[in-house]
Amino acid sequence: MTSLVATGHPLQRAGAWATAVIAEREDPSRVSVADLDTVASILAADVLAAAAAPKDTSRYDWWKVLFALYPNSKATHSKRPSDPDVLRPEIERLFAPDLSDAGMMRPCTFCTVGTAVVWAKSNLPLFDTSKALNTLPPGVPGWPVCRGCRIAMWALPYGAWVTAGSATVLSCEKDAAEREFARRNVWRARRVMQAGFTGMPAGTRPELVVLTALRDATDGLCATTLWSFKNDNQDPWLRVTRTRRAVPAFLAAVDGNAPLRRGWQLLSLALNRYDSQGRIAASGSGEAARLLFEAEDGRSRPLLGQLHRVLADADGAWSVTDREALVRLAFTYAEEVFGMETDLEPVATLIAEWIARGTSPRGRLAEYRKAALSDYQLGSLLVQAYTRLQLDGNKTPLAGPELWKPLIRRQPRAWEQRMLLFARVSVMLQQRGVVVGGKETDPEQERKIQELVDRPAFAEVRDDEYDGYHDYEMEQA
């Protein structure tokens, strides 16, 4: 009989994977009763150490994590006993085996295994809020939760990407990616307990960990969902973001191709955010990773939109090589992730010609930049360019309306096509030395970029780099 099941509930599932990783088993179904005993005693020891930790220690950071997930539990209560030995029985009881003759058996809320233990919502993250994933039926004294699931729900912070106030878990079609995400987070949890959050690299994000896990553990198609939440008494929230199924194919394409890796690293560098003293406040590689996730509420910044911003920025100057790399990244994303196959060459040529032949190419580029993403404005600009070039006696055949119509009609992916068109036009102009100013290559900057391009594109900060980051944090403090 299996003692642990990874169910479809995202929090239980993340906890089940964490339990398997801590028990050093291949997957949750291999976790034995003896493994559950081992994991239960590890959880209890960590909870007790956190509950008794003085406020300015790194151990206290793990208490903050527990508080964010279980704000009303015995372990995090403000009136908890300061002596761990007094608190111990309460905590050990949370993970104790089910007694078969303990009274009425009910099916476990998560996995339906019979259990006599009923848990209050205070032990279950996200169960007592308006954003709850479940609500309790009237007249039921609490949630029936079997031992495996009780342990899983408290192993959750080990399998989740945690901060001092929130947690993020992953659901993925591929077990290998879920396991890899859990494995990295269990390692990180131990690191937080030892060194606290100040010992962690600044500005990394769960999205980057997911991309690393997908890259390392997946081939083929695989959709992922990230659930980020805070179980706060005052202001709980749940944010759900997804990647499209083809994202692993895109990751593989980028990883295996130097110009695409260059494009990805340039985008990441452009997304670095600095504080007032010029230090990195948010790492661009984490921000770039976020662009592959789409929010359920539609409030995310898609990758193509961000690439467009970077390429269309009138003040930004890219060398031809760099612009080509960024544009290639945009086209690869559109092909791999959206399955778009577009030949924008003739229309891009039309616009580039029109800009190049103006008395003020700069003025025409500004006009195009303004119209580039609007169906209506781009439509009138194309009519104007087409007519103008015809009147000027253009010798080569021009792209006619039948070729631009898909770009200015209200149809799926027309917006993406308009961004790709702009990208292509900007490369053409720069290659021809028209208007789009290039940047002198700074050898030092080029050396740094080349170093980044030589590495895998979606690598989380390596273990051996943590100490360097630690020093950086120390300098800040």
CB-based contacts of 283-286 (< 8 A; 24+ apart in sequence): 283/201, 283/202, 283/203, 283/204, 283/205, 285/208, 286/203, 286/204, 286/205, 286/207, 286/208
Rg (CA), the chain: 27
Angle at 205 between CA 122 and CA 154, to 5 degrees: 25
Query: Of the two residues 40 and 111, which places its CB atom closer to Zn ion in the complex?
Result: 111
Rounded least distance, CB 147 to Zn ion, Å: 8
Q: Which of 18, 23, 31, 111 binds Zn ion (CB under 5 A)?
A: 111
Identify which range of 88-96, 102-110, 157-165, 171-179 contacts Zn ion by CB under 5 A.
Answer: 102-110
**Contact letters (x/-) for Zn ion, 156-185, by CB under 5 A?**
------------------------------
Query: Of the two residues 12 and 283, which places its CB atom closer to Zn ion in the complex?
Result: 12
Query: Of the two residues 98 and 255, which places its CB atom closer to Zn ion in the complex?
Result: 98
- Whole-angstrom distance, CA of residue 98 vs CA of residue 123: 17
Say how many residues touch Zn ion, by CB under 5 A.
Answer: 6
Rounded least distance, CB 204 to Zn ion, Å: 33
- Whole-angstrom distance, CA of residue 362 vs CA of residue 88: 73
Rounded least distance, CB 1 to Zn ion, Å: 12
Phi-psi label, residue 84: left if phi above 0, alpha if psi -120 to 50, beta otherwise? alpha
Q: Which of 44, 75, 146, 334 binds Zn ion (CB under 5 A)?
A: 146
Rounded least distance, CB 304 to Zn ion, Å: 42
Give CA 134 to chain center in angstroms: 25
**Residues whose CB falls within 8 Å of the CB of residue 191, separated by 6 or more in sequence, listed in order:** 199, 200, 466
Query: Of the two residues 7 and 212, which places its CB atom closer to Zn ion in the complex?
Result: 7
Helix (H) or strand (E) holding 295: strand 294-295
Residue from 80, 11, 2, 22 nearest 47 by CA: 80
- Whole-angstrom distance, CA of residue 191 vs CA of residue 460: 15
> Considering the rule CB under 5 A, would residue 110 count as an interface residue with Zn ion?
yes
> Considering the rule CB under 5 A, would residue 378 count as an interface residue with Zn ion?
no
Rounded least distance, CB 4 to Zn ion, Å: 8
Query: Of the two residues 146 and 186, which places its CB atom closer to Zn ion in the complex?
Result: 146
Query: Of the two residues 108 and 213, which places its CB atom closer to Zn ion in the complex?
Result: 108
> Considering the rule CB under 5 A, would residue 289 count as an interface residue with Zn ion?
no
Rounded least distance, CB 175 to Zn ion, Å: 19
Cβ atoms of residues 271 and 284 within 8 Å: yes
**DSSP SS3 for 427:** helix
Burial class (CB in 10 A: 0-12, 13-18, 19+), 444: exposed
Identify which range of 108-116, 243-251, 346-354, 407-415 contacts Zn ion by CB under 5 A.
Answer: 108-116
> Considering the rule CB under 5 A, would residue 4 count as an interface residue with Zn ion?
no
Rounded least distance, CB 148 to Zn ion, Å: 5
Rounded least distance, CB 20 to Zn ion, Å: 15
**DSSP SS3 for 386:** helix
Query: Of the two residues 27 and 335, which places its CB atom closer to Zn ion in the complex?
Result: 27
- Whole-angstrom distance, CA of residue 92 vs CA of residue 90: 6
Rounded least distance, CB 212 to Zn ion, Å: 30
Please say whether the dihedral angle defined by the alpha carbons of residues 26, 29, 30 and 36, taken in this order, is positive or negative. Answer: positive
Q: Which of 50, 66, 108, 351 binds Zn ion (CB under 5 A)?
A: 108
CA 29 to each of CA 19, 23, 26, 35, 202: distance values in angstroms, whole numbers, following the listed order: 10, 12, 8, 11, 36
Rounded least distance, CB 104 to Zn ion, Å: 16
Cβ atoms of residues 427 and 323 within 8 Å: yes
Identify which range of 111-119, 181-189, 347-355, 368-376 contacts Zn ion by CB under 5 A.
Answer: 111-119
> Considering the rule CB under 5 A, would residue 149 count as an interface residue with Zn ion?
yes
Rounded least distance, CB 119 to Zn ion, Å: 11
- Whole-angstrom distance, CA of residue 436 vs CA of residue 312: 10
The pairing of strands 224-230 and 167-172 is antiparallel
Classify residue 28 by its DSSP letter.
Answer: G
Identify which range of 58-66, 101-109, 276-284, 301-309 contacts Zn ion by CB under 5 A.
Answer: 101-109
The residues binding Zn ion (CB under 5 A) are 108, 110-111, 113, 146, 149
